[in-house]
Amino acid sequence: MLALAPDAASAKAAAGVARPAKWSGTGADGEAVWGECQGSGRSTYRACVDVTEPAFRCTCPSRKFPCKHGLALLLLWSDGTVGGGERPQWAAEWIEGRRARAEKARERRAAAAPKAASRTRDPKTAERRRRRVEEGLAELDRWLCDQVAQGLAQAEHAPYRVWDDVARRLVDAQAGALAGQVKALAGLPRRPEWPDRLLEEYALLRLLVRAYRRGEELPEGLRETVRARVGFTLSQDEVAERGERVRDRWCVTGAHDSEQDRLTTRRVWLRGRRTGRPALVLSFAAPGRPLDTSLAVGTEFDGELVFYPGAQPLRALVGERHGPAEPAVPGGTTVQGFLDEHAAALARDPWLDRWPVTLAAVRPARSADGALHVIDEAGDALALRPTDPWRLLAVSGGRPVVFSGEWTPRGLRPLAAWHEDEGMVVL
């Protein structure tokens, strides 16, 4: 439940409010939990949680979402201190209003689907963009060749604007995704292996340029991947129409928030219980706006995901759900099993920069140089990115745990761990 908290302060505050003496009129049924909490002074706040999403409503003035009262109500419910009952009118009106709005939204999407399918993009607009992208990629190709010809010694001390200027020209050429990849090069850490990493990134960029030029010769899935990496996006309606639909019990294994250009991105990783298939669900929020909290780490739901087309379909939209989310421990693999899976994914999409990791029965360990790793029963290990190790060390206590993370070229970022006694802990 605490994984739903927007920050550590909210989680701490919720734990302080999760006391039965502070609440009255609590109750729960198969879809909702509700109650009234005594606030400071004479204030009484009404809180209700739609557990099928989850979604929250509270009459308190807090700008955080969910607030401490909604989280505290869930904590009480999970502890078994909230009994059943009939919804009060204020809670019933909110839940029924949500259901009505969701039904109207489904009707609007169904009515708009034939119109969306019949719409075609203006050929002249598409042709203009194609020419601009080709010109932008030709300029990038020349720049990459110049960088390699000049050597990387000067690049190590170059200011950020060297890459920012190239990225801005790619934005002007309407190749936004490619611009983001170029801009990120300025942030590569200046470590001893930095020249190798930079050259590797340059090579991948040139491979993408050449693949785009040969797009008509590529298999359909790889062509879709190349276009997406350059910056050609698909609307959700197009994904719903063309994407592969997979129903499974999807376990939410981890989430990570990042901020760039004043836009917060939440990456949520899932894995199918039956198919073993990984999936990535993205959500975005402008400053001051809440991120999607419907996928809570450590839960599992029966539902359908719709995958974006590509050579290695990974990003997905959440389609229809067939029941509420429930707490669950994901199934894990060995280090060697993960490496085999990742190698197969890279063979299909060489530009993959992140891949989900779920390992069974691993424990933290330090190498001879002091670097922190996770090691499995076979003795195989993966290096962790430089991060605060204490939560992982504390929850494991040197004993095996189920571990989830996000694999990147810079190492493994810890996301969550499941201990047989402590349960799930967000790292």
What is the band of 114 on the pLDDT scale with cuts at 50, 70, 90?
A: low
Going edge to edge, which strands form the sheet with 381-383? Answer: 381-383, 372-375, 355-366, 401-408, 411-419, 423-426
Please provide the average confidence, as pLDDT, over all residues in the chain: 88
pTM of the entire predicted model:
0.74
| Domain map (residue ranges) of the chain | 2-96, 123-230, 243-327, 335-426
pLDDT band at 301 (very low <50, low <70, confident <90, very high): very high
Give the pLDDT confidence of 171-209 residue by residue, as tens digits: 999 998 999 899 888 888 777 888 888 999 999 999 999
pLDDT digit string, tens, across residues 206-219: 999 999 999 899 99
Tell me the per-residue pLDDT of 223-240, one tens digit each, with 9 for 90 and over: 999 999 999 988 888 998
Residue 113 banded pLDDT, cuts 50, 70, 90: low
Tens digit of pLDDT for each residue in 131-182?
999 999 999 999 999 988 888 877 777 888 888 899 999 999 999 899 989 9
Report long-range pairs for 183-186 (Cβ below 8 Å, ≥24 apart): 186/160, 186/162
Say if residue 349 is exposed, middle or buried (CB neighbours under 10 Å; 0-12, 13-18, 19+).
Answer: buried
In this prediction, residue 81 has a pLDDT band, given cuts at 50, 70 and 90, of: confident
**Is 244's pLDDT higher than 90?**
yes
- Of 53-67, 117-131, 207-221, the range with the highest mean pLDDT is 207-221
Close Cβ partners of 165 (under 8 Å, ≥ 6 residues apart):
none
What architecture is the 243-327 domain classified under in CATH?
A: Beta Barrel (2.40)
- Is omega for the bond preceding 54 within 30 degrees of 0, making it cis? yes
Can you tell me the distance from the alpha carbon of 35 to that of 258, in angstroms, rounded to the nearest whole number? 34
Per-residue pLDDT reduced to its tens digit, 261-273: 778 889 999 999 9
Sequence-separated (6 or more) residues with CB below 8 Å from residue 260: 180
